[in-house]
């Protein structure tokens, strides 16, 4: 196993994993408070990416400096995603808070279909190209190469994750969020408005997803109405891997999943003697999910929970 290839794979994995971590944070926050898998989160990401790519397309010929265009794109994507996410919470999840678990799940799947179809109608089914806004000359890190946009992903993700952790652990709002996650009714007795906290949670998750969406589109130079599903699913796997409901776990799970996927796709040909190739990459997330749920359902950093029916 050559070291430089290994390092390259690990770096790629970290880039991939940072994006997963950003999305996973959204899943895990909502699950912590509502015990609900927000199936639509992947599509919120997709909307962020589509808005971003549209803004970039409009501004590409305006002569503004390219990095500024990127910032504007993200600044436009975030409010759209936040409003979308708040709408979803209000219309679909809030009425079903006391319904059996099946109802919000089916509703979420239905909403996912609606949002994807609307995106397909608005932006047309064909993929849209996201042009390179940053210089493409790779940076050298030891024997491995990292494109500037990959570096940007790592930096932005790290900043956002640290910011979120600070928010949750050091601010009054964060305390309210943690209290609501632990016990909404008692939190209410302590003067915390649960509905408000839930709305804020969705909003923060949506903002992270919007940024992640633009980053994914930037990384792969492409955006399409169907792009939210697979990253959403993998990010959910990451959240479960780290321990759902646990923010640090989501970050850890995301990074770990990214590395597993990267290394797996890179080496699977060697391991299976050429039988399975890197086109099986998507399976890794599912296999990891099944293994985690069978052997350690509370995840890496979660507390042991008893089996609930």
Nearer to another protein, 215 or 261 (CB): 261
Separation of first and last alpha carbons in the chain: 45
> Strand, coil or helix: what is 298?
coil
Query: Per-residue x/- mask for another protein, residues 205 to 244, rule CB under 8 A?
Result: ------------------------x---x--x---x----
Q: How many residues bind another protein (CB under 8 A)?
A: 48
Task: Report the distance separating Cα 244 and Cα 25, nearest Å.
Answer: 9
Phi–psi pair at 5, nearest 5 degrees: -65, -40
Tell the smallest beta-carbon distance from residue 28 to another protein (Å): 13
Of the candidates 209, 206, 208, 285, the residue with the CA atom closest to the CA atom of residue 240: 285
The answer to whether 119 and 46 are in contact (CB under 8 A) is yes
Question: Which residues inside 6-65 make contact with another protein, applying CB under 8 A?
Answer: 36-37
Phi–psi pair at 146, nearest 5 degrees: -130, 125
Binding-site member from 19, 24, 44, 92 for another protein (CB under 8 A): 92
Binding-site member from 120, 222, 263, 300 for another protein (CB under 8 A): 120
Binding-site member from 80, 86, 134, 283 for another protein (CB under 8 A): 283
Residue 159 near another protein by CB under 8 A = no
Residue 121 near another protein by CB under 8 A = yes
Nearer to another protein, 80 or 105 (CB): 105
Tell the smallest beta-carbon distance from residue 121 to another protein (Å): 5
Residue 274 near another protein by CB under 8 A = yes
> Strand, coil or helix: what is 99?
coil
Residue 109 near another protein by CB under 8 A = yes
Nearer to another protein, 220 or 286 (CB): 286
Phi–psi pair at 141, nearest 5 degrees: -120, 95
Tell the smallest beta-carbon distance from residue 93 to another protein (Å): 10
Residue 257 near another protein by CB under 8 A = no
Residue 275 near another protein by CB under 8 A = yes
Task: Report the distance separating Cα 174 and Cα 193, nearest Å.
Answer: 13
The position carrying tokens 């946009």 is 149
Residue 191 near another protein by CB under 8 A = no
| H-only helix segments in the chain | 3-34, 41-59, 66-88, 102-123, 148-170, 172-182, 184-189, 194-220, 229-242, 247-271, 281-295
Q: For 273, what's the count of Cα atoms within 13 Å in the CB-facing half-sphere?
A: 0
The position carrying tokens 């709305």 is 199
Residue 86 near another protein by CB under 8 A = no
Of the candidates 145, 103, 120, the residue with the CA atom closest to the CA atom of residue 4: 145
Which listed range, 16-24, 49-57, 155-163, 275-283, lies at the site for another protein (CB under 8 A)? 275-283
Nearer to another protein, 1 or 102 (CB): 102
The answer to whether 80 and 51 are in contact (CB under 8 A) is yes
DSSP structural state of residue 304 = P
Residue 271 near another protein by CB under 8 A = no
Tell me the two tokens of residue 82: 């936040």
Binding site for another protein (CB under 8 A): 36-37, 92, 95-96, 99-107, 109-114, 116-118, 120-121, 229, 233, 236, 240, 274-277, 279-280, 282-283, 285-287, 289-290, 293-294, 297, 307-309
């Amino acid at each position: 196993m050559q070291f430089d290839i290994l390092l390259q794979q690990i770096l790629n994995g970290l880039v991939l994993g940072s994006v997963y971590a950003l999305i996973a944070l959204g899943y895990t926050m909502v699950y912590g408070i509502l015990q609900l898998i927000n199936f639509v989160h992947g599509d919120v990401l997709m909307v962020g990416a589509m808005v971003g790519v549209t803004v970039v397309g409009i501004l590409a010929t305006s002569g503004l400096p390219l990095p500024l265009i990127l910032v504007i794109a993200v600044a436009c994507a975030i409010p759209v995603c936040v409003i979308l996410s708040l709408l979803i919470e209000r219309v679909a999840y809030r009425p079903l808070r006391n319904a059996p678990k099946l109802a919000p799940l089916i509703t979420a799947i239905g909403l996912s279909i609606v949002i994807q179809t609307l995106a397909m109608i608005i932006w047309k089914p064909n993929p849209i190209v996201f042009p390179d806004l940053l210089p493409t000359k790779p940076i050298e890190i030891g024997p491995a190469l990292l494109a500037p946009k990959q570096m940007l992903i790592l930096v932005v993700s790290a900043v956002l994750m640290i910011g979120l952790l600070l928010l949750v652990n050091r601010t009054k709002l964060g305390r309210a969020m943690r209290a609501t996650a632990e016990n909404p009714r008692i939190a209410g007795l302590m003067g915390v408005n649960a509905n408000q906290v839930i709305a804020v949670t969705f909003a923060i998750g949506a903002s992270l997803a919007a940024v992640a969406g633009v980053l994914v589109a930037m990384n792969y130079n492409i955006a399409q109405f169907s792009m939210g599903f697979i990253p959403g699913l993998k990010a959910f796997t990451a959240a479960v891997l780290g321990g759902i409901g646990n923010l640090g776990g989501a970050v850890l799970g995301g990074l770990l999943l990214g590395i597993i996927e990267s290394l797996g796709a890179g080496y699977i040909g060697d391991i299976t003697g050429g039988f399975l190739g890197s086109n099986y990459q998507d399976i890794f997330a599912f296999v990891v999910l099944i293994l985690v749920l069978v052997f350690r359902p509370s995840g890496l950093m979660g507390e042991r929970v008893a089996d609930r029916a």
